[in-house]
């Protein structure tokens, strides 16, 4: 098939996969992003990501936490939104980006993202030299990593800037505050490293009370004060995730590290910013419709049985796409109406009860996350139906769902 035949041209699946029509085409045979038409995909299951919304959310968070900087957390493929696209969208307004894995940082660098990238996950294996070469900023807590970074930097006649992570109560990563002074002593003996920042992560910033976070902050501040007393500096200190950044002004320090809020979701009901908007919409189209009699069962295990003559729609999306298999009372939106999910969610398909949706037909748009007319299904709704958290729903939308990017230029 040649571009220009008027037939669909499809890029391979992946986080940056884009389905495009063959006309009109650029020199590479594909239409530019701005002209992508989701209706021409082979399977109409898509996640639309609005980069203009993510930029607006970033600006609103920046205004809220100013003068602290906002470092966008784009680990886990930007919580399912596509790390490279989100990084490119935020590059000119974001002083630094944060990822969890070295691999995630390398993906961004190979895509041409040049802003500072902080590696929060602190797992370096044998990649210290590569982290330095690629200009990633390592978060560390282990003296062995300090030494390996110092050695790799010295080999290159360079000095690497590192951020030291302090464990203030999460008990996951970080140096204990009691051994923090010894780690600083050790860093001072290594000319290849400069401690450029201190950081911590809060375990309960989205909880009902702020007491534990305030206590963790005090532990962190004691470490910061000690480092300052020892003459370290300038230091860039950062602690706040979305919940802390939004709720607890004291935690904002030099930079905040929001992930979820950037994408327009909130970590818990006690955290709220009125103007943040969801940036992702998950939709598909009805691929088959069948009328069944009362008593007929639907899907694996025959666990759902029609109580009345019913119209059942089959959707080309399943748990391999990240729609949760275990949902209770879940709904989708069709023609502005809510339609219940019925029977077990399959790997590639799921069924919905369309009996009460007037004039439904094959090809109708189905919204699984997003708005349709006056109705809306939020990622929080789907998380509740699945007995999980909104983070897991967003990160779980799988690579085989094409991400379609919108921006204000469209």
- Residues marked active site are found at 75, 300
Nearer to ligand PLP, 8 or 207 (CB): 207
83 binds ligand PLP (CB under 6 A): no
CB burial string 329-358: b at 16+ within 10 A, e below? ebbbbbbebebebbbbbbeebbbbbbbebe
Contacts of residue 283, Cβ cutoff 8 Å, sequence gap at least 6: 44, 45, 46, 48, 365, 366, 367, 368, 369, 370
Q: Which of 267, 316, 318, 370 binds ligand PLP (CB under 6 A)?
A: 267
Q: Does 242 bind ligand PLP (CB under 6 A)?
A: yes
Q: Does 390 bind ligand PLP (CB under 6 A)?
A: no
Residue choice 3, 73, 89, 334 for contact with ligand PLP (CB under 6 A): 73
Name the helix (H) or strand (E) containing 346. Answer: none
Question: Please, are residues 258 and 70 in contact by the beta-carbon 8 Å criterion?
Answer: yes
Stretch of 84-92, 128-136, 237-245, 339-347 lying at the interface with ligand PLP (CB under 6 A): 237-245
Instruction: Count CB neighbours of 264 within 10 A.
Output: 22
Nearer to ligand PLP, 2 or 172 (CB): 172
Beta bridge partners, 119, equal 99, 138
Size of the site for ligand PLP (CB under 6 A): 12
Cβ 261 to ligand PLP, closest distance in Å? 6
Residue 236 or 241 with smaller CB distance to ligand PLP: 241
The residue with its CB nearest to ligand PLP is 259
Stretch that binds ligand PLP, among 29-37, 251-259, 302-310, 341-349 (CB under 6 A): 251-259
Please state the closest distance from residue 101 (CB atom) to ligand PLP, in A: 11
Q: Does 239 bind ligand PLP (CB under 6 A)?
A: no
The answer to whether 201 contacts ligand PLP (rule: CB under 6 A) is yes
Decide: 57 and 279 in contact? Cβ < 8 Å: yes
Instruction: Specify the length of the chain in residues.
Output: 410
As a whole number of angstroms, the distance between CA 284 and CA 42 comes to 11
Asked whether position 80 contacts ligand PLP by CB under 6 A, the answer is no
Per CB under 6 A, 81 contacts ligand PLP: no
Residues 104-133 that bind ligand PLP (CB under 6 A): 120
Strand ranges for 220-261 from DSSP E: 236-238, 255-256
Should residue 55 be labelled a site residue for ligand PLP when binding is judged by CB under 6 A? no
Stretch that binds ligand PLP, among 38-46, 50-58, 241-249, 375-383 (CB under 6 A): 241-249
Nearest distance from residue 241's CB to ligand PLP, in Å?
3
Start-to-end Cα distance in the chain: 28
Site string for ligand PLP, 142-181 (x = CB under 6 A): ----------------------------------------
In the complex, least distance from residue 353 CB atom to ligand PLP, rounded to whole angstroms: 34
What residue has token string 């598909």?
284
Give the list of residues 6+ apart from residue 61 with CB closer than 8 angstroms, or none.
70, 245, 246, 256, 258, 261, 262, 273, 276
Distance from CA of residue 98 to its chain's centroid?
11
Stretch that binds ligand PLP, among 87-95, 259-267, 272-280, 340-348 (CB under 6 A): 259-267
| Interface region with ligand PLP, contact rule CB under 6 A, candidates 186-194, 258-266, 319-327, 374-382 | 258-266
Rounded-to-integer distance, Cα 86 and Cα 302, Å:
42
**DSSP 8-state symbol, 270:** T
The answer to whether 91 and 84 have CB atoms below 8 angstroms apart is no
Backbone angles phi, psi at 341, to 5 degrees: -75, 130
Q: Which is nearer to ligand PLP, 242 or 310 (CB)?
A: 242
Binding of ligand PLP at residue 138 (CB under 6 A)? no
Sign of the CA dihedral 199, 204, 207, 212? negative
Given the complex with ligand PLP, which of 132 and 276 has the nearer CB atom?
276
Q: Which residues contact 230 (CB under 8 A, 6 or more apart)?
A: 184, 188
- What the block records as the tokens of 141 is 């807590």
CB neighbour class for 191 (10 Å; exposed up to 12, middle 13-18, buried from 19) = exposed
Q: Which of 60, 257, 285, 335 binds ligand PLP (CB under 6 A)?
A: 257
- Which chain residues interact with ligand PLP by CB under 6 A? 73, 120, 201, 241-243, 257-261, 267
């Amino acid at each position: 098939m040649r571009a220009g035949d008027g037939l669909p041209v499809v890029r391979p699946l992946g986080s940056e996969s884009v389905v495009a029509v063959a006309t009109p085409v650029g020199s590479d045979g594909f239409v530019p992003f701005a002209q992508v038409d989701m209706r021409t995909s082979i399977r109409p299951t898509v996640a639309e990501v609005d980069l203009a919304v993510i930029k607006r959310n970033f600006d609103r968070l920046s205004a809220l936490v100013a003068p602290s900087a906002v470092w966008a957390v784009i680990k886990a493929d930007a919580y399912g939104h596509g790390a490279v696209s989100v990084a490119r969208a935020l590059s000119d307004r974001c002083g630094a980006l944060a990822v969890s894995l070295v691999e995630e940082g390398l993906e961004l660098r190979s895509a041409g993202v040049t802003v500072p990238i902080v590696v929060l996950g602190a797992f370096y294996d044998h990649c210290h030299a590569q982290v330095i070469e690629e200009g990633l900023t390592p978060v560390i807590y282990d003296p062995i990593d300090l030494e390996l970074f110092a050695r790799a930097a010295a080999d290159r006649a360079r000095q690497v800037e590192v951020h030291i992570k302090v464990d203030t109560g999460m008990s996951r990563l970080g140096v204990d505050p009691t051994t923090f002074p010894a780690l600083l002593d050790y860093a001072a003996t290594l000319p290849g490293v400069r401690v450029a920042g201190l950081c911590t992560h809060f375990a309960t910033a989205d909880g009902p009370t702020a007491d534990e976070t305030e206590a963790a902050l005090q532990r962190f501040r004691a470490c910061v004060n000690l480092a300052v007393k020892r003459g370290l500096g300038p230091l860039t200190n950062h602690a706040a995730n979305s919940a802390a950044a939004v709720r607890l002004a004291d935690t904002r320090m030099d930079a905040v590290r929001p992930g979820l809020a950037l994408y327009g979701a909130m970590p818990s009901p006690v955290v709220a910013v009125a103007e943040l908007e969801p940036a992702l919409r998950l939709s598909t189209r009805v691929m088959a419709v069948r009328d069944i009699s009362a008593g007929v069962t639907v899907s694996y295990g025959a666990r759902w049985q029609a109580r009345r003559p019913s119209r059942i729609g089959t959707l080309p999306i399943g748990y391999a796409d990240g729609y949760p298999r275990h949902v209770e009372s879940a709904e989708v939106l069709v023609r502005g109406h809510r339609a219940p999910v019925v029977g077990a969610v399959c790997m590639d398909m799921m069924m919905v009860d369309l009996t009460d949706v007037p004039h439904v037909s094959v090809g109708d748009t189905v919204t699984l996350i997003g708005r349709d007319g006056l109705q809306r299904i939020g990622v929080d709704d789907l998380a509740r139906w699945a007995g999980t958290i909104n983070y897991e729903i967003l990160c779980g939308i799988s690579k085989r769902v094409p991400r379609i990017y919108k921006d204000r230029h469209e």
